[in-house]
């Protein structure tokens, strides 16, 4: 395991977690795939017949359908099995992870409001205990709630369109994301495990803001001009908050789904050791390059950039400034 300490490794977490030493990880923090079909890496089921996967004739050549997150003509039985398949995938990696964590260690996972419950059940089934669900409040959120009256008027249903004026399809603006906080159960008392493993307590004093202790509603956002490498990238500041809360200097933090390396960047800034995995070698290149850079904002070499999200970034950053 020493060879991969303070490094990011390309590969499937399910193949790499077994390489870790048992009882070695002080904290695991991961923005795991949410299972909402955000991208190919987020499709964690075998349902190739689903309209969700772009297989229906209506979807040919239209990648936007993948992002709808729902089939276009109702849900087949196979579509309805997707959440359980996501849960099974979470159970597979969580069971491998369990022996690698120290007793009393914290495990934080970011998740989607509509799929996190499946991950929670999987992690409980693999042995972890749920401590809390933190709410990470964002200054804004990408939101589209279509006016149903417009859909109806496009179908020529003018009377219905009038009747449904003011009604919309979809959800309310999603301005918070859940972070499930688990711990590995320990023998004897919490004080014994803090003394033995130096995990299990919270460094509340280190994360105070304006002299006040934190609560479980956490407001953190990207720093101004923090560069975006990954579509699902998390602000380094929220990771710094969690790392500071749950670990001491030099302890080992694992992120098995590290993407562009935000967890490792936060560890490096806080003098924690880290191990990161990602199945996409391009993200691993970016993550390594972020680690060798001295600034959050510096760009990696051109060839290391698989995608750009600059329009999206600018909108979010400028909206964040106004809130």
Ligand X SMILES: C[S@@+](CC[C@H](N)C(=O)[O-])C[C@H]1O[C@@H](n2cnc3c(N)ncnc32)[C@H](O)[C@@H]1O
* Residue ranges in contact with ligand X by CB under 6 A: 12-14, 31, 33, 41, 230, 232-234, 257, 259-260, 262, 277-280, 283
> Closest by alpha carbon to 225, among 307, 297, 301, 308?
297
Residues with Cβ within 8 Å of 71's Cβ and at least 6 positions away in sequence, in order, are 50, 51, 52, 56, 79
Question: Which lies closer to ligand X via its Cβ, residue 59 or residue 280?
Answer: 280
d(CA 111, CA 118): 10
Question: Which lies closer to ligand X via its Cβ, residue 134 or residue 152?
Answer: 134
Instruction: Give least dist CB 11 to ligand X, A.
Output: 7
Please, where are the H alpha helices in the chain?
13-16, 77-80, 82-97, 116-125, 148-154, 158-163, 190-197, 236-246, 262-270, 281-292, 310-322
Q: Is the four-CA dihedral 211, 213, 217, 222 of positive or negative sign? A: positive
For 109, the enclosing helix (H) or strand (E) is strand 101-110
Q: How far is CA 214 from CA 132, 133, 177, 205, 320, in A?
A: 14, 14, 17, 9, 21
Question: Which lies closer to ligand X via its Cβ, residue 96 or residue 148?
Answer: 96
The Cβ of residue 144 has, within 10 Å, a number of other Cβ atoms equal to 9
Question: Which structure tokens are listed for 156?
Answer: 């020529």
Instruction: Give least dist CB 255 to ligand X, A.
Output: 7
Question: Which lies closer to ligand X via its Cβ, residue 102 or residue 230?
Answer: 230
Instruction: Give least dist CB 31 to ligand X, A.
Output: 3
d(CA 83, CA 193): 35
Instruction: Give least dist CB 67 to ligand X, A.
Output: 15
Question: Which lies closer to ligand X via its Cβ, residue 11 or residue 127?
Answer: 11
Instruction: Give least dist CB 206 to ligand X, A.
Output: 22
Question: Which lies closer to ligand X via its Cβ, residue 86 or residue 128?
Answer: 86
Instruction: Give least dist CB 245 to ligand X, A.
Output: 17
SS3 call for 323:
coil
**Nearest residue to ligand X on Cβ basis:** 259
Question: Which lies closer to ligand X via its Cβ, residue 152 or residue 284?
Answer: 284
Instruction: Give least dist CB 12 to ligand X, A.
Output: 4
Question: Which structure tokens are listed for 60?
Answer: 């040919």
């Amino acid at each position: 395991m020493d060879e991969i300490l303070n490094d990011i490794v390309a590969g499937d977490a399910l193949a790499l977690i077994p390489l870790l030493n048992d009882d070695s990880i002080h904290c695991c923090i991961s923005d795991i795939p949410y299972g909402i079909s955000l991208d190919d890496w987020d499709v964690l089921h075998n349902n190739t017949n689903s309209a969700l996967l772009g297989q229906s004739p209506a979807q040919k050549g239209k990648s936007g359908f993948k992002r709808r997150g729902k089939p276009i003509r109702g849900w087949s039985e196979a579509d309805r099995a997707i959440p359980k398949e996501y849960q099974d995938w979470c159970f597979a990696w969580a069971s491998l992870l369990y022996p690698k964590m120290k007793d009393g260690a914290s495990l934080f996972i970011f998740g989607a409001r509509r799929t996190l419950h499946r991950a929670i059940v999987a992690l409980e089934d693999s042995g972890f205990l749920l401590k809390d669900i933190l709410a990470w409040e964002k200054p804004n959120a990408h939101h589209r709630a279509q006016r149903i009256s417009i859909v109806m008027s496009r179908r020529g249903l003018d009377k219905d369109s009038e009747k449904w004026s003011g009604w919309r399809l979809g959800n309310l603006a999603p301005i918070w994301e859940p972070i499930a906080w688990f711990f590995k159960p320990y023998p004897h008392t919490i004080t014994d495990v803090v003394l033995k493993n130096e995990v299990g307590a919270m460094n509340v004093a280190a994360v105070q803001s304006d002299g006040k202790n934190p609560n479980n509603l956490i407001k953190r956002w990207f720093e101004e001009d923090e560069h975006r490498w990954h579509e699902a990238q998390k602000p380094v500041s929220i990771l710094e908050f969690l790392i500071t809360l749950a670990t001491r200097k030099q302890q080992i933090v694992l992120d098995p789904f590290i993407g562009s390396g935000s967890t490792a960047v936060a560890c490096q800034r806080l003098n924690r050791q880290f191990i990161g995995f990602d199945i996409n070698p391009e993200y691993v290149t970016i993550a390594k390059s972020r680690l060798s850079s001295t600034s959050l904002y510096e760009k990696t070499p051109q060839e290391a950039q698989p995608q750009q999200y600059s329009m999206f970034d600018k909108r979010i950053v400028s909206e964040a400034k106004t809130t």
